[in-house]
Amino acid sequence: MNRKSLFWATTALCGGLMLAGAANAQSTATQEAELGDVVVTGARGPRTTDGTIVAETVAKTRSSVTQEFISTQAAGQTILQTLNLTPGLNFTNNDPYGSSGGNIRLRGFDGNRVSLTFDGIPLNDTGNYAVYTNQQLDPELIERASVNTGTTDVDSPTASATGGTINYVTRRPAADFGGWGQVSGGSNDYLRFMGLVDTGEVGPWGTSAWFAASHQKYDKYKGQGDLEKTQYNFRIYQPLADNGDFVALSGHYNENRNFSYYGPSLISFNADGSVAAPEEVTTSPFGWNVDYNPIYVAPTVRAGVADVDTNSTAYYGLRINPSDTGNIRLNSRFTLAPGLVLTVDPSVQYTQANGGTQQAVLSETDGLLRGNNAVGGVDLNGDGDTLDRVRVMTPSNTNTIRYGVNSSLIWDLNDTNQFRVAYTGDYGRHRQTGAYGNIDFSDPSNPRFADDFGGLDDKDNRIVNLDGFYLRSRDRLSYATLNQVAVEYRGSFLNDALKVNLGVRAPFFKRELNQYCYSQNASSNVRCTTEVPNATLANGNVTFAATGATQYIAPYERTLKYDDILPNVGASYTFGDSTVYASYAESLSAPRTDSLYSVVRLADGSIGNPGVEPETTQTFDLGYRFQLPTLIASAAVWHTDYDNRIVSSYDQDLGFNVDRNVGAVESYGFDGSIGWEPTDQLSIFASASFLESEIQDNININAVLVAMTKGKEVVETPNETFGLRIAYDFNEVFSAALQGKYVGERWVTDVNDQKVDAYTTVDFDARFDFAPFGFEGAYMQFNVINVFDENYYGSLGTTTSSTIGQPGFSRPFANIGAPRTVMASLRYSF
């Protein structure tokens, strides 16, 4: 079988669940509610052209891809890169294989403002809403992925999505026993193994399951170090009746151990290494494929001498990004009475991770080490004195336990009227610690951290002061609680030509903050110490003998609540092969944990952070769809007003995103796509997006400095993007495709005094299918990423201004786009 017939054969095994999930919303309930909006062709599910575009009929702008297309991309690739041809979405991958993360821009919104869900459970970090694209499900296990551009669904489990939603669903177990094994290899010593076993339907109730595991490892494409990922997944599916009722239990575990890339400073260097004017920056002085990795000189250790470790914090061996993530999720559907359906999707998630520079040079007599002692110190390097300045690990560990449920009661009054009530609960315990740890100098010129998470788990690796207190760079406990109710009505009129959905969701969000360290006034810096502070100042702040006049706020607790009423409505009208639709949605994004821990002593003596308010958006879409058996086309114009917009950019030294408020923004644009199969062998997909944005306010940097951002465009968002894919099945054995993405110029700064050039990347994939030779499901696939070796910048570390002396000046940085990368995969099925 060729790739298309193999896909449809697999789909046929899915039966009713494939149809129920065809709309690909993020919850079982929304899949059920949208079942009537799916265009079905026989048993094949929704109409699609080569899996790159699906026939959507929901009254909002949505784009979907199926496993047919996903399977053509690089093995192990993050699903966000696979979706990069979607109109309105621009994803910058930080390496060719997807394990270093990347950056999302959806109609100008960063990934923290886009809800990412996986079988209905929210994946955005409970604290800062970050999306970790390198921790997503193995792409071979994803049945379908979709993007709601600019809007959410009425039951979306989020308090942060002002820019839209990205959702994907897991494949259902096959009806028959079988499986496959796959090995992939490629540039940068890439090696990946993956296997899956389907049990088929077993036992008296037709229970089916699959179990899968994968492992990959490869070198960084520039600089020293490697990236390693291991993943385990399973899904158990139990039908309860022949009416679509079911219970599905799934599990996921992902472990990453990555050395970080080092990006150049955009303002500092031109191609020849000279200081460049902002608009002239094109590349890095270190060479396109060479990272900035200084040699580590073994620190001197001498008794009685004040030794200092003067090495750069940029040394690759001490720039790691470890993460352990996992979840258990349940999807279920129960018919309570004719026309009355209950869906319940509970889940439990676990995360432990850190990242960034994670190191500091600490004096052995630092006040943190002395604690409540006027003299003395701690001999960190074991040379018998306390005269030295020694390098230690200062991790930014985050541990999260998260419980959630997404449930709905759906009542079909008749064939044309449906009512729904939904409840979403999401509870996250967010523990952030920075337990100092030691550095292993057993190889003096090539050191490593003694433990990936410092002293968090390994108590023997902790650095303890004279008071017996183990040092930490931060220490806080946060709880994020979302209770959300939603109601929705769906109606069909004029012989199903006119469809209306009227919905509203009401999120009630609470953040409980527990700061166990002293917070520097008007800053996010903290001092976690046993030092006894000086006498309390009149305003309630304190100082320390070791830090001079710097004022600190004592440990505190705060609780903040946010709520809103958010309409989510739409209507569509179908005439012949055409459909027009319109939608309106409002969204809320509550402040992030990191924003709320940046505190200041207010004039009334209370603790607060003025200016950090919820972000709100109002989005209008007007769209048109045209659908024939061999052609699917869609186009939409849209307008978004949003207030108090908070922009997030990655700080490579801190290892996490930092917030900057850019006030109100107005944006509008066009998104369009078309998929065409002129013959059974040829398929063509094209997409285009145009966006205009305008910041409505200047930014107050401080009491006296103002950045002139009014009238400027938002950062890291191209005004235009174009995508194209051409795929051809030459015969039953060989098929190939070429696809490309053009990304326009992007501003790096809020005041628009620096931008990076436009670029185009082209990828190639080809497959030799061995089914005609009697090996069903076996094939050899080749992928070439960035065929023409385009030089470009990917993710940008944006700032307010890059002009020295201007308000908000700081040096932005960028990730260099990956060069040409070649890989091959061999699969054998049984």
795/785 Cα distance (integer angstroms): 17
Measure Cα distances from 618 to 102, 135, 150, 162, 624 in Å: 27, 31, 9, 9, 20
761/215 Cα distance (integer angstroms): 27
The tokens describing 649, both together, are 């950019």
The tokens describing 19, both together, are 């149809």
pLDDT digits over 607-640, tens only?
A: 877 556 788 999 999 999 999 999 999 999 999 9
Mean pLDDT along residues 436-442: 95
Mean pLDDT along residues 510-529: 93
For 501-529, what is the HEC assignment? EEEEEEEEEEEEEEECCEEECCECCEECC
pLDDT reading at 272 higher than 70: no
* Residue bearing the bigger pLDDT, 797 or 334: 334
Instruction: Single out the residue of 173, 234, 246 nearest to residue 205, CA to CA.
Output: 246
pLDDT reading at 19 higher than 80: no
Percent of the chain as helix, strand, coil, to the nearest 5: 10, 50, 40
pLDDT reading at 435 higher than 50: yes
Beta-strand (E) ranges in 23-94?
Answer: 48-49, 53-54, 62-66, 89-93
pLDDT reading at 288 higher than 70: no
pLDDT reading at 269 higher than 70: no
Q: Is 534 exposed, middle or buried (0-12, 13-18, 19+ CB in 10 A)?
A: exposed
Give just the sign of the alpha carbon dihedral 517, 523, 525, 529: negative
pLDDT digits over 725-776, tens only?
A: 999 999 999 999 999 999 999 998 889 888 888 999 999 999 999 999 999 9
Q: Is 328 exposed, middle or buried (0-12, 13-18, 19+ CB in 10 A)?
A: middle
Strongest mean pLDDT among 292-301, 691-700, 811-820: 691-700
pLDDT of residue 655: 41
pLDDT digits over 796-826, tens only?
A: 888 888 887 888 888 788 888 899 999 999 9
The tokens describing 154, both together, are 């009425």
DSSP assignment string, 765-820: EEEEE-GGGT-TT-EEEEEEESTT----EEEEE-BSB-STTSTTB---EEEEPP--
Instruction: Single out the residue of 341, 321, 346 nearest to residue 397, CA to CA.
Output: 321
Mean pLDDT is lowest, of 23-37, 227-241, 628-642, 688-702, for 23-37
Mean pLDDT along residues 78-94: 96
pLDDT reading at 778 higher than 90: yes
pLDDT of residue 816: 83
pLDDT of residue 39: 33
764/73 Cα distance (integer angstroms): 9
CB burial of 393-403 (b: ≥16 within 10 Å; e: otherwise) equals bbbbbbbbebe
pLDDT reading at 96 higher than 50: yes
Neighbours of 278 (CB within 10 A): 18
C-alpha angle 753-754-755 in degrees, rounded to nearest 5: 135
Mean pLDDT along residues 136-162: 90
The tokens describing 72, both together, are 């053509």
Q: Determine the straight-line distance between the first and last CA of the chain, rounded to whole angstroms.
A: 15
pLDDT of residue 33: 62
Structural contact between residues 129 and 691, judged by C-beta atoms closer than 8 angstroms: no
Structural contact between residues 348 and 328, judged by C-beta atoms closer than 8 angstroms: yes
Q: What DSSP designation does 733 have?
A: S
pLDDT of residue 267: 59
pLDDT of residue 276: 43
614/616 Cα distance (integer angstroms): 6
The tokens describing 147, both together, are 């993007």
pLDDT reading at 228 higher than 70: yes
DSSP assignment string, 563-599: E--EEEEEEEEEETTEEEEEEEEEEEEPPPHHHHTSB
Percentage of residues of the chain with pLDDT beyond 90: 70
pLDDT reading at 12 higher than 50: no
Q: Is 782 exposed, middle or buried (0-12, 13-18, 19+ CB in 10 A)?
A: middle
Mean per-residue pLDDT of the chain: 88
pLDDT of residue 603: 84
Q: Any idea which architecture 3-262+319-358+394-436+471-516+555-829 has in CATH?
A: Beta Barrel (2.40)
646/615 Cα distance (integer angstroms): 7
What are phi and psi for residue 632, nearest 5 degrees? -130, 125
Q: What is the CA radius of gyration of the chain?
A: 27
171/45 Cα distance (integer angstroms): 14
- What is residue 202's three-state secondary structure? strand
What are phi and psi for residue 680, nearest 5 degrees? -65, -20
Q: What is the pTM of this model?
A: 0.90
Domain spans of the chain, in order of start: 3-262+319-358+394-436+471-516+555-829
The tokens describing 519, both together, are 């917070």
Q: What DSSP designation does 112 have?
A: G
Mean pLDDT along residues 484-502: 96
pLDDT reading at 268 higher than 60: no
* Residue bearing the bigger pLDDT, 467 or 295: 467
Instruction: Single out the residue of 181, 146, 158, 138 nearest to residue 22, CA to CA.
Output: 146
pLDDT of residue 453: 95
Measure Cα distances from 124 to 136, 164, 196, 369, 821 in Å: 11, 13, 27, 37, 30
Instruction: Single out the residue of 435, 448, 584 nearest to residue 517, CA to CA.
Output: 435
Give the CA dihedral 45, 51, 52, 57, nearest 10 degrees.
0
Structural contact between residues 486 and 154, judged by C-beta atoms closer than 8 angstroms: yes
Structural contact between residues 827 and 276, judged by C-beta atoms closer than 8 angstroms: no
pLDDT of residue 755: 86
166/123 Cα distance (integer angstroms): 10
- What is residue 28's three-state secondary structure? helix
Mean pLDDT along residues 349-370: 93
Measure Cα distances from 120 to 333, 422, 430, 741 in Å: 13, 13, 21, 29
pLDDT digits over 172-181, tens only?
A: 999 999 999 9
